[in-house]
Amino acid sequence: EVQLLESGGGLVQPGGSLRLSCAASGFTFSNYAMSWVRQAPGKGLEWVSGSSSSGGSTNYADSVKGRFTLSRDNSKNTLHLQMNSLGAEDTAVYYCAKAIALAAFYYFDNWGQGTLVTVSS
């Protein structure tokens, strides 16, 4: 059974930083692309960042480019999202998602339960 367990969320002041982690199990982590998708309170889904299976290629939504950095450790089956210069607009539940790379992008066949990031003073 695929399991994705996020951690690292919490309350942070505007301009601060946070590092999210996702621990994966139940599948061969190194064979799959992975992504973070977020959901602001009461809002819809927004893709944030994605990594190729090797970690050699990462990409970002325009809204976070230059502020967020995605990395993965295939030896430890973990995915990390370093978030810097956080603003109120980054307040959301952040989901780790196993991605199926098709066409030009991905769809997401398994999701973690999410970790809440709140940016507030």
Q: Which residue, chain included where needed, has tokens 């307040």?
A: 91
Helix (H) or strand (E) holding 117: strand 115-119
Q: Which is nearer to other proteins, 9 or 75 (CB)?
A: 9
Of 61, 80, 82, 84, the residue at the interface with other proteins (CB under 8 A) is 61
Return the structure tokens found at 55: 């970690």
Residues 67 to 96 in contact with other proteins, rule: CB under 8 A: 95
Q: Which residue, chain included where needed, has tokens 């709140």?
A: 118
Of 1, 31, 103, 121, the residue at the interface with other proteins (CB under 8 A) is 103
115 touching other proteins, by CB under 8 A: no
Candidates 116, 121, 89, 86; CA nearest to 9 is 116
CA distance to 2, 12, 30, per residue, from 110 (Å): 7, 28, 15
42 touching other proteins, by CB under 8 A: no
CB of 97 to other proteins, least distance (A): 8
Binding site for other proteins (CB under 8 A): 37, 44-47, 59, 61, 95, 100, 102-114
